[in-house]
């Protein structure tokens, strides 16, 4: 009777150590002084196996994909899937918000801001042409200030309208 550790038994069978521990805790495999008898364990597992799973063909270790040995190159599958799902969720949210009118393309916003800035600049640069003669004739500083304020308010109210 050859006894081996749980991790060695798991390695020989191509299982994880956690799976063998689960089999031990569920009573499917008996331990002898903390070790596993591989022949006895396999017989016990086969005796308790589901009939529907007995007919399945075992997977050859040669056909299993080999994981990269360099941990820097290997991306954890669960992490990659989580990142992909998070990206999909963000994209779906952005599409919904765009269709709902909560989002606008940045290029359109820049273009509209540029047009508004040009209109404001042109209107402000037109003040001297429109008010030069009136302001030149005015000697009262308060009146000059009031004329300039009226002109600026007219421009701003015109530009702020729909």
Distances (CA, A) of 10 to 17, 50, 58, 77: 5, 20, 15, 22
The answer on pLDDT for 71 being more than 60 is no
Model pLDDT for residues 82-100, shown as the tens digit of each residue: 899 999 999 999 999 888 8
Question: Do 24 and 5 form a contact (C-beta atoms < 8 A)?
Answer: no
Q: What is the pLDDT of residue 70?
A: 55
Residue range 11-39: mean pLDDT, rounded = 89
Q: How many helices (H) and strands (E) does the chain have?
A: 8, 2
Query: In b/e form, how buried is each residue of 92-129, taking b as 16+ CB within 10 angstroms?
Result: eeeeeeeeeeeeeeeeeeeeeeeeeeeeeeebeeebee
Work out the average pLDDT over 99-119.
89
**Mean pLDDT, rounded, for 70-93:** 81
Res 54: pLDDT: 53
User: Does position 76 have pLDDT exceeding 60, yes or no?
Assistant: yes
Question: Of the ranges 29-43, 52-66, 68-82, 107-121, which one carries the lowest mean pLDDT score?
Answer: 52-66
Tell me if the pTM is above 0.85: no
Tell me what the mean pLDDT of segment 74-89 comes to. Answer: 85
Q: What is the DSSP string of 105-138?
A: -HHHHHHHHHHHHHHHHHHHHTHHHHHHHHHHH-
Q: At CB < 8 A and 24+ separation, what contacts does 121-124 make?
A: 123/155, 123/158, 123/159, 124/152, 124/155
């Amino acid at each position: 009777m050859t006894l081996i550790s749980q991790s060695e038994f798991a390695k020989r069978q191509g299982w994880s150590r956690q799976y063998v521990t689960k089999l031990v805790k569920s009573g499917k495999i008996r331990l002898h002084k903390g070790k596993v008898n591989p022949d006895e364990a396999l017989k016990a597992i086969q005796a308790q196996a589901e009939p529907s799973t007995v007919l399945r063909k075992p997977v050859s270790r040669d056909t299993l994909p080999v994981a990269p040995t360099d941990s820097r190159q290997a991306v954890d599958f669960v992490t990659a899937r989580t990142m992909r799902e998070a990206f999909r969720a963000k994209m779906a949210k952005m599409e919904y918000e765009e269709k709902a009118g909560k989002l606008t393309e940045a290029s359109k916003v820049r273009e509209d801001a540029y047009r508004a800035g040009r209109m404001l600049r042109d209107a402000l640069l037109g003040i001297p042409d429109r008010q030069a003669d009136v302001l030149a004739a005015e000697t009262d500083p308060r009146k000059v200030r009031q004329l300039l304020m009226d002109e600026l308010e007219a421009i701003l109210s015109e530009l702020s309208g729909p």
